[in-house]
Structure 1
Amino acid sequence: MDDPEFREFVEVRYADLLRTAYLLTGSRDAAQDLVHEALLKVMRHWRRVDEPMAYVRRVMVNERTSRWRRVGLRELLTSTLPERAGPDSTEPVVVRDELLTALDRLPVRMRTVLVLRYWEDLPEVEVAAAMGCSVGTVKSQAARGLARLRDVLGGPWPRVAGGLLEERA
Protein backbone atom coordinates (compact mmCIF):
# COMPACT_ATOMS: atom_id res chain seq x y z
CA MET A 1 0.00 0.00 0.00
CA ASP A 2 1.34 3.40 -0.94
CA ASP A 3 -0.97 5.93 0.68
CA PRO A 4 0.50 9.45 0.86
CA GLU A 5 -1.62 10.34 3.92
CA PHE A 6 -0.38 7.30 5.82
CA ARG A 7 3.21 8.05 4.81
CA GLU A 8 2.85 11.65 6.01
CA PHE A 9 1.31 10.47 9.29
CA VAL A 10 4.27 8.16 9.90
CA GLU A 11 6.82 10.85 9.01
CA VAL A 12 5.20 13.41 11.31
CA ARG A 13 4.33 11.14 14.26
CA TYR A 14 7.04 8.46 14.27
CA ALA A 15 9.23 10.13 16.92
CA ASP A 16 6.22 10.64 19.23
CA LEU A 17 5.13 7.04 18.76
CA LEU A 18 8.64 5.78 19.42
CA ARG A 19 8.89 7.81 22.64
CA THR A 20 5.57 6.44 23.86
CA ALA A 21 6.56 2.90 22.93
CA TYR A 22 9.85 3.29 24.78
CA LEU A 23 8.06 4.44 27.90
CA LEU A 24 5.68 1.48 27.59
CA THR A 25 8.42 -1.10 27.06
CA GLY A 26 11.57 0.30 28.64
CA SER A 27 13.67 -0.89 25.70
CA ARG A 28 14.68 0.86 22.49
CA ASP A 29 14.57 -2.36 20.46
CA ALA A 30 11.21 -3.41 21.87
CA ALA A 31 9.88 0.13 21.28
CA GLN A 32 10.87 0.03 17.61
CA ASP A 33 9.29 -3.41 17.22
CA LEU A 34 6.12 -2.21 18.92
CA VAL A 35 5.80 0.87 16.70
CA HIS A 36 6.45 -1.12 13.53
CA GLU A 37 3.90 -3.80 14.47
CA ALA A 38 1.31 -1.16 15.32
CA LEU A 39 1.89 0.78 12.10
CA LEU A 40 1.58 -2.38 10.02
CA LYS A 41 -1.78 -3.13 11.61
CA VAL A 42 -2.96 0.45 11.22
CA MET A 43 -1.85 0.58 7.58
CA ARG A 44 -4.22 -2.30 6.76
CA HIS A 45 -7.19 -0.29 8.07
CA TRP A 46 -5.96 3.22 7.27
CA ARG A 47 -8.94 4.31 5.16
CA ARG A 48 -11.35 3.43 8.00
CA VAL A 49 -9.40 5.17 10.77
CA ASP A 50 -11.01 8.38 12.03
CA GLU A 51 -8.49 9.33 14.75
CA PRO A 52 -5.10 8.00 13.62
CA MET A 53 -3.06 8.87 16.72
CA ALA A 54 -5.66 7.47 19.10
CA TYR A 55 -5.97 4.34 16.99
CA VAL A 56 -2.21 3.75 16.86
CA ARG A 57 -1.93 4.29 20.62
CA ARG A 58 -4.68 1.75 21.20
CA VAL A 59 -2.96 -0.78 18.93
CA MET A 60 0.37 -0.19 20.71
CA VAL A 61 -1.21 -0.69 24.14
CA ASN A 62 -2.93 -3.87 22.96
CA GLU A 63 0.27 -5.20 21.37
CA ARG A 64 2.30 -4.40 24.49
CA THR A 65 -0.26 -6.14 26.69
CA SER A 66 -0.35 -9.19 24.41
CA ARG A 67 3.43 -9.40 24.29
CA TRP A 68 3.66 -9.04 28.05
CA ARG A 69 1.19 -11.87 28.52
CA ARG A 70 3.21 -14.10 26.17
CA VAL A 71 6.70 -13.42 27.46
CA GLY A 72 6.32 -11.06 30.42
CA LEU A 73 7.38 -13.41 33.15
CA ARG A 74 10.36 -14.65 31.15
CA GLU A 75 11.45 -11.03 30.47
CA LEU A 76 10.95 -10.11 34.11
CA LEU A 77 13.09 -12.99 35.32
CA THR A 78 15.91 -12.50 32.81
CA SER A 79 16.07 -8.74 32.34
CA THR A 80 18.84 -6.68 33.87
CA LEU A 81 18.72 -3.07 34.77
CA PRO A 82 20.91 -0.78 32.69
CA GLU A 83 24.07 0.47 34.32
CA ARG A 84 23.79 3.86 35.94
CA ALA A 85 25.37 6.85 34.30
CA GLY A 86 28.90 7.75 35.38
CA PRO A 87 29.82 10.53 37.77
CA ASP A 88 29.79 13.10 34.98
CA SER A 89 26.04 12.77 34.44
CA THR A 90 23.75 15.64 35.23
CA GLU A 91 20.94 15.56 37.77
CA PRO A 92 18.09 15.51 35.21
CA VAL A 93 19.55 12.45 33.51
CA VAL A 94 19.90 10.62 36.83
CA VAL A 95 16.36 11.53 37.83
CA ARG A 96 15.03 10.41 34.43
CA ASP A 97 16.87 7.09 34.68
CA GLU A 98 15.59 6.48 38.20
CA LEU A 99 12.08 7.32 37.11
CA LEU A 100 12.27 4.99 34.09
CA THR A 101 13.62 2.20 36.29
CA ALA A 102 10.81 2.75 38.80
CA LEU A 103 8.24 2.79 35.97
CA ASP A 104 9.64 -0.50 34.71
CA ARG A 105 8.83 -2.11 38.06
CA LEU A 106 5.14 -1.23 37.86
CA PRO A 107 2.53 -3.62 36.48
CA VAL A 108 1.96 -3.11 32.76
CA ARG A 109 -1.54 -1.64 33.12
CA MET A 110 -0.43 0.86 35.77
CA ARG A 111 2.63 1.87 33.77
CA THR A 112 0.51 2.31 30.65
CA VAL A 113 -1.89 4.64 32.48
CA LEU A 114 0.98 6.77 33.80
CA VAL A 115 2.72 6.97 30.42
CA LEU A 116 -0.41 7.94 28.50
CA ARG A 117 -1.79 10.24 31.19
CA TYR A 118 1.34 12.13 32.23
CA TRP A 119 3.96 11.78 29.51
CA GLU A 120 1.57 11.88 26.59
CA ASP A 121 -0.61 14.35 28.55
CA LEU A 122 -3.82 12.68 27.40
CA PRO A 123 -7.08 13.39 29.18
CA GLU A 124 -8.42 10.52 31.29
CA VAL A 125 -11.15 9.86 28.73
CA GLU A 126 -8.62 9.31 25.94
CA VAL A 127 -6.46 7.09 28.16
CA ALA A 128 -9.53 5.00 28.96
CA ALA A 129 -10.38 4.74 25.26
CA ALA A 130 -6.81 3.73 24.37
CA MET A 131 -6.80 1.04 27.06
CA GLY A 132 -10.36 -0.17 26.66
CA CYS A 133 -11.31 0.51 30.27
CA SER A 134 -13.38 2.98 32.29
CA VAL A 135 -12.31 6.47 33.35
CA GLY A 136 -12.61 5.28 36.95
CA THR A 137 -10.05 2.57 36.28
CA VAL A 138 -7.70 5.15 34.77
CA LYS A 139 -8.10 7.37 37.84
CA SER A 140 -7.51 4.55 40.32
CA GLN A 141 -4.54 3.10 38.40
CA ALA A 142 -3.00 6.57 38.12
CA ALA A 143 -3.41 7.25 41.85
CA ARG A 144 -2.00 3.85 42.81
CA GLY A 145 0.83 4.16 40.29
CA LEU A 146 1.86 7.59 41.52
CA ALA A 147 1.77 6.35 45.12
CA ARG A 148 3.99 3.40 44.22
CA LEU A 149 6.43 5.67 42.38
CA ARG A 150 6.61 7.90 45.44
CA ASP A 151 7.34 4.88 47.64
CA VAL A 152 10.00 3.49 45.30
CA LEU A 153 11.74 6.79 44.64
CA GLY A 154 11.45 8.29 48.10
CA GLY A 155 11.36 12.03 48.49
CA PRO A 156 11.83 14.94 48.10
CA TRP A 157 11.19 14.90 44.39
CA PRO A 158 12.47 17.27 41.78
CA ARG A 159 9.96 18.76 39.39
CA VAL A 160 9.51 16.02 36.85
CA ALA A 161 6.73 15.51 34.36
CA GLY A 162 4.80 18.57 35.47
CA GLY A 163 4.89 17.79 39.18
CA LEU A 164 3.99 14.15 38.61
CA LEU A 165 5.33 12.97 41.96
CA GLU A 166 4.13 15.79 44.17
CA GLU A 167 1.58 14.79 46.80
CA ARG A 168 -1.87 16.19 46.24
CA ALA A 169 -3.93 17.47 49.15
Structure 2
Amino acid sequence: MDLEPDFRAFVTERSGALFRSAYLLTGDRHAAEDLVQTALTKTAAKFRGLNDPSALEGYVRRVMYNEQVSSWRRRGQMTEVAFGHLPDQIAEGHADTADLRLVMRGALARLTAKQRAMLVLRYFEDLSEAEIARLLGMRIGTVRSQIYRSLERLRKIAPELGAVRELR
Protein backbone atom coordinates (compact mmCIF):
# COMPACT_ATOMS: atom_id res chain seq x y z
CA MET A 1 0.00 0.00 0.00
CA ASP A 2 1.51 3.30 -1.07
CA LEU A 3 0.79 5.91 1.57
CA GLU A 4 0.12 9.48 0.68
CA PRO A 5 3.27 11.64 0.86
CA ASP A 6 1.53 13.91 3.40
CA PHE A 7 0.84 10.97 5.68
CA ARG A 8 4.43 9.75 5.39
CA ALA A 9 5.66 13.24 6.29
CA PHE A 10 3.31 13.34 9.27
CA VAL A 11 4.60 9.99 10.55
CA THR A 12 8.22 11.10 10.13
CA GLU A 13 7.67 14.42 11.89
CA ARG A 14 5.33 13.37 14.71
CA SER A 15 6.17 9.76 15.56
CA GLY A 16 8.51 10.79 18.40
CA ALA A 17 5.86 12.92 20.07
CA LEU A 18 3.24 10.22 19.54
CA PHE A 19 5.56 7.65 21.13
CA ARG A 20 6.12 9.85 24.19
CA SER A 21 2.37 10.20 24.66
CA ALA A 22 1.85 6.48 24.16
CA TYR A 23 4.57 5.71 26.69
CA LEU A 24 2.91 7.93 29.27
CA LEU A 25 -0.40 6.19 28.60
CA THR A 26 0.97 2.64 28.71
CA GLY A 27 3.95 2.89 31.02
CA ASP A 28 5.81 0.37 28.85
CA ARG A 29 8.14 0.99 25.91
CA HIS A 30 6.99 -2.03 23.88
CA ALA A 31 3.31 -1.41 24.54
CA ALA A 32 3.83 2.22 23.52
CA GLU A 33 5.43 1.18 20.23
CA ASP A 34 2.54 -1.19 19.58
CA LEU A 35 0.00 1.50 20.44
CA VAL A 36 1.54 4.03 18.05
CA GLN A 37 1.78 1.40 15.30
CA THR A 38 -1.86 0.38 15.76
CA ALA A 39 -3.05 3.99 15.74
CA LEU A 40 -1.04 4.86 12.63
CA THR A 41 -2.22 1.71 10.84
CA LYS A 42 -5.86 2.50 11.58
CA THR A 43 -5.36 6.12 10.57
CA ALA A 44 -3.58 5.20 7.34
CA ALA A 45 -6.56 3.09 6.32
CA LYS A 46 -8.82 6.13 6.66
CA PHE A 47 -6.38 8.86 5.65
CA ARG A 48 -7.98 9.61 2.28
CA GLY A 49 -11.37 9.92 3.95
CA LEU A 50 -10.32 12.55 6.47
CA ASN A 51 -12.02 15.82 5.65
CA ASP A 52 -9.46 17.97 7.43
CA PRO A 53 -5.85 16.81 7.07
CA SER A 54 -4.78 19.43 9.64
CA ALA A 55 -6.76 17.46 12.24
CA LEU A 56 -4.66 14.35 11.56
CA GLU A 57 -2.66 14.46 14.80
CA GLY A 58 -5.79 14.87 16.91
CA TYR A 59 -7.34 11.93 15.10
CA VAL A 60 -4.29 9.72 15.71
CA ARG A 61 -4.19 10.71 19.38
CA ARG A 62 -7.86 9.89 19.79
CA VAL A 63 -7.30 6.47 18.19
CA MET A 64 -4.38 5.93 20.60
CA TYR A 65 -6.49 6.88 23.60
CA ASN A 66 -9.43 4.72 22.50
CA GLU A 67 -7.16 1.74 21.79
CA GLN A 68 -5.53 2.06 25.20
CA VAL A 69 -8.88 2.34 26.99
CA SER A 70 -10.06 -0.77 25.13
CA SER A 71 -6.89 -2.56 26.19
CA TRP A 72 -7.47 -1.63 29.83
CA ARG A 73 -11.05 -2.84 29.62
CA ARG A 74 -10.01 -6.15 28.06
CA ARG A 75 -7.52 -6.75 30.83
CA GLY A 76 -10.05 -5.73 33.45
CA GLN A 77 -7.48 -3.85 35.46
CA MET A 78 -4.33 -1.87 35.06
CA THR A 79 -1.03 -3.43 36.00
CA GLU A 80 1.63 -1.38 37.73
CA VAL A 81 4.90 -0.73 35.98
CA ALA A 82 8.04 -1.79 37.83
CA PHE A 83 10.67 0.93 38.18
CA GLY A 84 13.30 -1.37 36.67
CA HIS A 85 11.49 -1.30 33.34
CA LEU A 86 11.33 2.48 33.00
CA PRO A 87 13.72 3.89 30.44
CA ASP A 88 15.79 6.71 31.85
CA GLN A 89 18.02 9.00 29.88
CA ILE A 90 19.63 11.38 32.35
CA ALA A 91 21.87 14.19 31.23
CA GLU A 92 24.83 14.81 33.53
CA GLY A 93 24.28 17.59 36.04
CA HIS A 94 20.51 17.18 36.11
CA ALA A 95 20.15 14.88 39.13
CA ASP A 96 17.31 16.87 40.69
CA THR A 97 15.36 16.89 37.45
CA ALA A 98 16.04 13.19 36.97
CA ASP A 99 14.87 12.42 40.50
CA LEU A 100 11.71 14.40 39.90
CA ARG A 101 11.11 12.51 36.65
CA LEU A 102 11.53 9.17 38.39
CA VAL A 103 9.10 10.17 41.13
CA MET A 104 6.61 11.43 38.53
CA ARG A 105 6.88 8.27 36.43
CA GLY A 106 6.38 6.09 39.47
CA ALA A 107 3.41 8.14 40.62
CA LEU A 108 1.81 8.09 37.16
CA ALA A 109 2.24 4.32 37.04
CA ARG A 110 0.23 4.02 40.27
CA LEU A 111 -2.72 6.05 38.97
CA THR A 112 -5.67 4.39 37.32
CA ALA A 113 -5.61 4.31 33.55
CA LYS A 114 -8.22 7.04 33.22
CA GLN A 115 -6.50 9.29 35.77
CA ARG A 116 -3.17 8.90 34.01
CA ALA A 117 -4.73 9.63 30.61
CA MET A 118 -6.35 12.83 31.90
CA LEU A 119 -3.09 14.14 33.34
CA VAL A 120 -1.10 13.13 30.27
CA LEU A 121 -3.49 14.95 27.94
CA ARG A 122 -3.74 18.04 30.14
CA TYR A 123 -0.21 18.57 31.41
CA PHE A 124 2.11 16.59 29.14
CA GLU A 125 0.25 17.16 25.87
CA ASP A 126 -0.74 20.65 27.06
CA LEU A 127 -4.30 20.32 25.77
CA SER A 128 -6.94 22.64 27.17
CA GLU A 129 -9.94 21.22 29.00
CA ALA A 130 -12.09 22.10 25.99
CA GLU A 131 -9.70 20.28 23.63
CA ILE A 132 -9.72 17.19 25.86
CA ALA A 133 -13.51 17.27 26.02
CA ARG A 134 -13.71 17.48 22.22
CA LEU A 135 -11.05 14.79 21.73
CA LEU A 136 -12.70 12.32 24.10
CA GLY A 137 -16.31 13.22 23.41
CA MET A 138 -16.96 14.30 27.00
CA ARG A 139 -18.50 17.32 28.63
CA ILE A 140 -16.03 19.94 29.78
CA GLY A 141 -17.34 19.67 33.36
CA THR A 142 -16.58 15.96 33.36
CA VAL A 143 -13.06 16.63 32.12
CA ARG A 144 -12.52 19.26 34.84
CA SER A 145 -13.72 16.99 37.62
CA GLN A 146 -11.63 14.05 36.39
CA ILE A 147 -8.52 16.20 36.16
CA TYR A 148 -9.16 17.53 39.68
CA ARG A 149 -9.61 14.03 41.11
CA SER A 150 -6.53 12.80 39.26
CA LEU A 151 -4.41 15.62 40.69
CA GLU A 152 -5.71 14.90 44.19
CA ARG A 153 -4.76 11.25 43.86
CA LEU A 154 -1.34 12.18 42.48
CA ARG A 155 -0.76 14.45 45.50
CA LYS A 156 -1.61 11.58 47.85
CA ILE A 157 0.61 9.10 46.02
CA ALA A 158 3.62 11.44 45.76
CA PRO A 159 3.45 14.33 48.23
CA GLU A 160 7.06 15.14 47.34
CA LEU A 161 5.72 16.55 44.07
CA GLY A 162 4.72 19.78 45.80
CA ALA A 163 4.88 21.62 42.49
CA VAL A 164 1.83 19.65 41.37
CA ARG A 165 -0.25 22.10 43.41
CA GLU A 166 0.75 24.79 40.95
CA LEU A 167 -0.63 22.88 37.95
CA ARG A 168 -4.23 23.71 38.75
TM category, shorter: 0.7 to 0.9
Amino acid at match of 2:72: W
Change (3 A) 1:118 1:80: closer
2:35, 2:64 within 8 Å by CA — same for their partners in 1? yes
2:108, 2:154 within 8 Å by CA — same for their partners in 1? yes
In the other structure, the counterpart of 2:8 is 7
In the TM superposition, residue 131 of structure 1 has moved relative to its aligned partner by: 1.9
2:81, 2:109 within 8 Å by CA — same for their partners in 1? no
| Larger helix fraction of residues | 2
Report matched runs for 1:1-169 at 5 Å: 1-2=1-2, 3-49=4-50, 50=52, 51-73=55-77, 76=79, 79-83=80-84, 90-155=95-160, 157-158=162-163, 164-166=164-166
Change (3 A) 1:156 1:133: closer
In the other structure, the counterpart of 1:161 is none
Larger mean CA deviation between 41-50 and 26-35 belongs to 41-50
In the TM superposition, residue 129 of structure 1 has moved relative to its aligned partner by: 2.1
Change (3 A) 1:90 1:133: same
Query: Structure 2: any 5+ residue segments left out of the alignment?
Result: none
Q: Distance in 2 between matches of 1:123 and 1:150?
A: 21
Aligned-pair identity in percent equals: 44
Amino acid at match of 1:14: S
Q: Distance in 2 between matches of 1:24 and 1:69?
A: 14
> What is the alpha-carbon root mean square deviation over aligned residues?
2.2
Larger mean CA deviation between 50-59 and 104-113 belongs to 104-113
1:25, 1:64 within 8 Å by CA — same for their partners in 2? yes
Give the 3-state SS of the residue equivalent to 1:166 in structure 2: helix
Larger mean CA deviation between 112-121 and 100-109 belongs to 100-109
In the TM superposition, residue 166 of structure 1 has moved relative to its aligned partner by: 2.6
Give the 3-state SS of the residue equivalent to 1:45 in structure 2: helix
In the TM superposition, residue 48 of structure 1 has moved relative to its aligned partner by: 2.2
Q: Distance in 2 between matches of 1:103 and 1:30?
A: 16
Query: Structure 1: any 5+ residue segments left out of the alignment?
Result: 159-163
- Per-residue deviation, residues 35-65 of structure 1 (Å, max 9, x unmatched): 0000000000102222101100100000000
Give the 3-state SS of the residue equivalent to 2:166 in structure 1: coil
TM-score (norm 2): 0.85
TM-score (norm 1): 0.85
Aligned length: 158
